[in-house]
Structure 1
């Protein structure tokens, strides 16, 4: 059977490395769909993968357009009977040169709204034995959030996560977010919400998926040296290249056996990060305005 893989945010950085790695490790009859919102960049990225082991095709996809995400999922259901691998990697850019409030709408729309759209649309078309993976980070554990906010994300539905994200976004704009306990740096609550969304979806599918060998999970690729990460960290001595970071993620995705311990969890280098782990003060030191 032909395997169908899709990567969002795949025209550069880690997303490109994930698409490249899939194209190298899948079979010639398999298909990797490399997606991004800029048609020229998607075309250029596909050209860079000419001669890969598997077939690679580009698709223009803006994950903030939920109708477009649903339409692509429907297309793959009609043409291929579904999809086998989905790597939700698209994320919005963050710059220290602009205030967090100025960037909140677009960042949240891509990183969180896009994640929700992928989970909602591609979850139902994921074939048995498939992989539905959201690329998050180690910031995505609930312990990094003020305890007052834990009930918004712990043991809740995807609808509840979406409501919590909208409440956070509203608080940013009306100036009450810090008083409510939200971290100033957008990246922290955004990643927590991504992992909470994965956990919410996984909780509804767990029994069937484990029976079928299907994996729904979030992954932390570790610190990756990219244009997006460089403004935020001073020490890159231990940072990975995108290709290096993609390796453990693809090992998880392409493993023949699904470890039930990984299901619905945030996995970093093959190990689960405890959902309640983290210190709310740790990332308060990052200077943002």
Structure 2
């Protein structure tokens, strides 16, 4: 059966690089769907990827606004089956913008969409399939205040959704800081993404591993993209999108689904400690210093998706 691969946020940056890598590694009868909300941009991206010298698979554009959860469900129903799904979209936020004003879009793109993709595409994964959510090392639970960790640790998907909506409400009610939520939108968002992956994986682990299916969150490391660049003054250690995509694609095309990586946050082929992370009291200090000295410590060190 010909394979079907899909990438969200695929117009540029890491998503575009993932699409290029999939198109080069899959076969001539396979299909790579590049998705984005802007028809012109996603069509241009698919046309350019299809024309690359290394491309072997068929490449097609698909307009998809990931904030439209019904559209995600319709696409999954239309396809009927999928082999590779990479949830990569993220809303671009600038340092000078108010987290409160951007919270709804950021949460809808990063979290509500992740939940919808897990729900819609998990059931249609074929044997040997891969469903990966691009997250960050910020997704480790230890980045949250201890008062909040119980909301995500061992939670089911509905519980994760409830926690995310509680966080959203706290932001709008100006009670987030009092409740212990960090000011960085990326921290709770990434923790919730990883928690959602863990929640879904916990319900399907035995069956999926028997079928060679891998569901995981992935951290590609710091990537030089339009989303990340406004946050840093030093990009000497950043990877190009193509370089960052290689580790993710190696996981996609691994011959076997590694049980040690199933349901985990994976970076460069190794599972990260779910309970790890920088203590919350250190985060404000890191934010101030990272913008001038250490880009690997900043809030968008893996903010490499695009809501393109």
Q: Please state whether the residue corresponding to 1:123 is helix, strand or coil.
A: helix
Identify the residue that residue 31 of structure 2 maps to in structure 1: 31
Q: Name the structure 1 match of 2:163.
A: 164
Deviation at 1:235, TM superposition (A): 2.7
For residues 99 and 170 of structure 1, the distance between their equivalents in structure 2, rounded to whole angstroms, comes to 16
| Superposition deviation, residue 284 in structure 1 | 2.2
Query: Offset of 1:258 from its aligned partner?
Result: 1.1
Map 1:28-67 → 2, pairs under 5 A:
28-51=28-51, 52-67=55-70
Q: Which has the higher contact order (CA 8 A, sep 6+)?
A: 2
Once the two structures are TM-superposed, the CA of residue 236 in structure 1 deviates from its matched residue by 1.5
Q: Secondary structure at the match of 1:261?
A: coil
Aligned to 2:267: 268
For residues 49-91 of structure 1, give each alpha carbon's deviation from its aligned partner in whole angstroms, at most 9, with x where no partner exists.
Answer: 12321000110001110110000000000xxxx0000000011
- In structure 2, distance between residues paired with 1:173 and 1:255: 43
For the residue of structure 1 that corresponds to 2:222, the secondary structure is coil
Structure 2 partner of 1:195: 194
1:268-287 matched pairs, under 5 angstroms: 268-279=267-278, 280-285=280-285, 286=287
Who is 2:244 aligned against? 245
Structure 2: runs of 5 or more not aligned: 289-298, 300-308
| Cα shift at 1:96 | 1.2
8 Å Cα contact 1:26-1:54 kept in structure 2: yes
Give me the TM-score of the superposition, normalised by structure 1: 0.96
1:9 offset after TM fit, Å? 0.5
5+ residue gaps, structure 1, are none
Q: CA RMSD in A?
A: 1.1
1:144/1:282 contact within 8 Å kept: no
Q: How many residues in Structure 1 have an aligned counterpart in Structure 2?
A: 284
Q: Can you list the C-alpha shifts for 1:132-163, whole angstroms capped at 9, x where unaligned? A: 00000110000000010011000011000000
Q: Determine if contact 1:252/1:270 at 8 Å carries over to the other structure.
A: yes
Residue 216 of structure 1 aligns to a residue whose secondary structure is: strand
Cα distance, 1:234 vs. partner? 3.3
**Which residue is equivalent to 1:180?**
179
Match of 2:19 in 1: 19
